[in-house]
Amino acid sequence: MPVSLVTGGAGFMGSHVAEQLLMKGDKVVVLDDLSGGFVDNVPKGVTFVEGSILNHELVDRLFRGYEFEHVYHLAAYAAEGLSHFIRRFNYQNNLIGSVNLINESVRHKIKCFVFTSSIAVYGRGQLPMREDQIPLPEDPYGIAKLAVEQDLKCAHEMFGLNYVIFRPHNVYGPDMGFEHVVPQFALRIKKAAAQHPSGKVPCNFR
């Protein structure tokens, strides 16, 4: 049975990834420090480990203990605008933690590292966005994500680590918490509709 590690598996996206892997027949280990996720999100049937990707000793024990074939890295502290003011925290969580996982993935020769990057790597003013565009991040969060992408490229060229990168933006779906962008936007529309039922009053939903 293939064994997969899902970081951030107690969060919105990570819990769905873990669930799909279970349905595929994988044994799934979820690593999450619960700073942004909830234990209730973790699907039944996975092995849940509460801990941080910054704890390289814990990460090392997990890789040695479970012999992962795939790593799905979704753990992150997503705060684009705020990242200007929490630089050290941002780079520790979004870059150094990712490097801990990449190091162990190289050492243990996993089959593929799947990284959830961000549309923040593109910066502003590059519309429509395409994968062949040169990334120009404008905040430390986007810089950290791009740095991980580049480190994966180096790890592939030097050690043969296979990887896949996703750059999602404002993902939404079942079981999403109201703290996310799309639910917040929907709530503001609902509030505006209640205040201005005629629909003729211009509204700014920012």
Which positions are catalytic?
141
Helix (H) or strand (E) holding 64: helix 56-66
Name the phi and psi angles at 204, rounded to 5.
-110, 115
The total number of residues written for the chain in this structure:
206
Token pair listed for 105 = 């993935």
Radius of gyration of the chain (CA): 19
Distance CA 23, CA 72 (A): 15
- Residue 72: closest CA among 143, 138, 141, 11: 11
Distance CA 71, CA 184 (A): 31
Distance CA 44, CA 108 (A): 27
